[in-house]
Amino acid sequence: MANIDFRFALEQVPEILKGVPYTLLVTLVAMLVGLIIGTILAFFRVYRTPVLNQLAILFVSFFRGTPLIVQLFVFFYGLPRFIMYLNDLFGWNINPDFMSPLVIALIAYSINSASYLTEVVRSAILSVDKGQLEAAKSVGMTTVQAMRRIILPQAFVTALPNLGNQLIILLKASALAFTIGIMDVLGIARMIANDGYHFLETYLVAALIYWLLAIIFEMVFSKMEQRSNTFKGNVERKAKAAI
């Protein structure tokens, strides 16, 4: 324990890096699909659509209120059975095996992140001044046009810091996918660690890889925030401060 075998650690890097595509796949798909579902649910919440609003509240409450790892297991054992149930019910012939662990992980993470992003998007939409919608209507736009061109772009900027947070949380949470057999960064690291009894070295390498990915995400988001701040006038304010 006293001395760390750096050579062994270094040798394992290429192998563990092979898990990065899976880690990224789960993270990015969950972010994107979560954002789409979250935006739709946010509209149900903002407009208090009867029934759908209540269902959205229930959805958010359940998936934020239960551990992700439990959700993973429920989906892992539940989804194939659900498909068999549908087969029985409608006389379909879908092979439940298409629900590979990867597909199940993508579904579970997307739904989990949707529950958080619903609230992020909802609060961002509500933060946009009501006058913006009125102004859009006053030049003859429909509500949908106003949302797409005026409200959502502004809401997106407000939501950016929270979205960045969510992405990094997802990145780290994706490590749990090894529990259903995904060979992501942690999945591969565990395998190597168990084979060679070099637990500390392999997990340190895994930690550094996650950290590096997180730093890249942070950099991307800070660039996006800088850019989008243009219309908030921060650029000019900074310029004035510099003088």
Partner 1 sequence: MLSVTNLHKYYGDTHVLKGIDVEVAQGEVLAIIGPSGSGKTTFLRCMNYLETPNRGKISINHVTIDAENTTKKQIHQLRQQSSMVFQQYHLFKNKTAIENIMEGLIITKKMPNRKAEELALSYLERVGLKERRDAYPSQLSGGQEQRIGIARALAMNPAVILFDEPTSALDPENVGDILAIMRDIANQGMTMIIVTHEIEFARNVADQVIFMDQGEIVEKGTPEEVLVHPTYERTKRFLRRLHQEPDFII
Q: Which amino acid is at 218?
A: E
Q: Based on CB atoms, which residue is closest to partner 1, 124 or 180? A: 124
Distance CA 224, CA 243 (A): 25
- Least distance (Å) between residue 137 CB and partner 1: 6
Nearest to 171 by CA among 116, 224, 113: 113
Which runs of consecutive H residues, i.e. helices, occur in the chain? 6-17, 20-46, 52-65, 68-90, 101-127, 130-138, 143-146, 152-173, 185-196, 199-228, 234-242
CA atoms within 13 A on the CB side of 104: 28
Amino acid identity, residue 220?
V
Site string for partner 1, 138-177 (x = CB under 8 A): xxxxx--x---xx--xx--x--------------------
Q: Which stretch binds partner 1 (CB under 8 A): 12-20, 39-47, 99-107, 231-239?
A: 231-239
The answer for 169, left when phi > 0, alpha when psi is -120 to 50, beta otherwise, is alpha
| CB nearer to partner 1: pick between 99 and 128 | 128
132 near partner 1 (CB under 8 A): yes
**Given the rule CB under 8 A, which of 30-38, 165-173, 193-201, 232-240 is the region that contacts partner 1?**
232-240
Give the residue among 176, 207, 32 at the shortest CA–CA distance from 104: 176
- For position 136 contacting partner 1 by CB under 8 A, the verdict is yes
Identity of the residue, 86 or 235, whose beta carbon is nearer to partner 1 in the bound complex: 235
* Of 14, 50, 91, 131, the one binding partner 1 by CB under 8 A: 131
Segment contacting partner 1 by CB under 8 A, of 23-31, 82-90, 105-113, 134-142: 134-142
Nearer to partner 1 by Cβ, of 7 and 130: the residue is 130
Q: Does 47 bind partner 1 (CB under 8 A)?
A: no
Spatial CA neighbour of 57 closest among 124, 65, 79, 31: 65
The reply to whether 215 sits near partner 1 by the rule CB under 8 A is: no
Distance between CA atoms of residues 93 and 90, nearest Å = 9
Candidates 40-48, 62-70, 168-176, 225-233; binding stretch for partner 1 (CB under 8 A): 225-233
Residues that bind partner 1 (CB under 8 A): 129, 131-132, 134-142, 145, 149-150, 153-154, 157, 230-233, 236
